Amino acid sequence: MKNKKTYNFTLTLEGFVEPSEELEDALFQANCDDAILYFRNQVGYLEFEREAESLEVSIISAIKNAETAGVRTKIARVEPADLVTSAEISRRLNRSRESIRLLINGARGEGNFPVPIAGVTSKTLIWSWADVTNWFYTNKKIEDPFIVKQAQVIREINEALEVRNKPFAYKKINFFLTQIDEERKYA
């Protein structure tokens, strides 16, 4: 049996805007006794400190436990989220904003900082945390491979939750991919 470790993450609840005894009791009975339930801006969160063999196992078991609580609990996403600004990158990596700005602009470091995934036409650029952590690890600017693994696992689980929670938005994915790949053949 693998050694168990404690993993910290937060699940975002869908469909609840305030706490209730019924919700608290149901989550406790569904083995979510290792989480703190709180609400901010009418959004519910379960902040976990869960012991498991891996981060993936801890998050998936927490989702299953929460969603079988019997009060129609549905998990929208896992935090810390994949989408980050330069300010959030500096906060998560405990680096100055100027240090991050210089790395992004290629004025410091090896260059080739990950391409932003959104915000190019606005003031605030957005990056994938998984891409950013991988870049920092590859360029020896962070030493802990768990930071990269955590970012990748959370991104993958959130992508799966997105497809599950909004299947109508993904109906045409194969059609679009076929069309894109068809155009490449003739380029």
pLDDT value of position 120: 83
State residue 168's pLDDT score.
74
What pTM does this model have?
0.86
Convert the pLDDT of each residue in 11-51 to its tens digit.
Answer: 999 988 888 999 999 999 999 999 999 999 999 999 999 99
In percent, the amount of the chain with pLDDT more than 90 equals 74
- Which tens digits make up the pLDDT trace of 77-128? 999 999 999 999 999 999 999 999 999 999 888 889 999 999 988 889 999 9
Q: 82-91 pLDDT, tens per residue?
A: 999 999 999 9
* Residue 20 dihedral angles phi and psi, to the nearest 5°: -150, 155
Question: In residues, how long is the chain?
Answer: 187
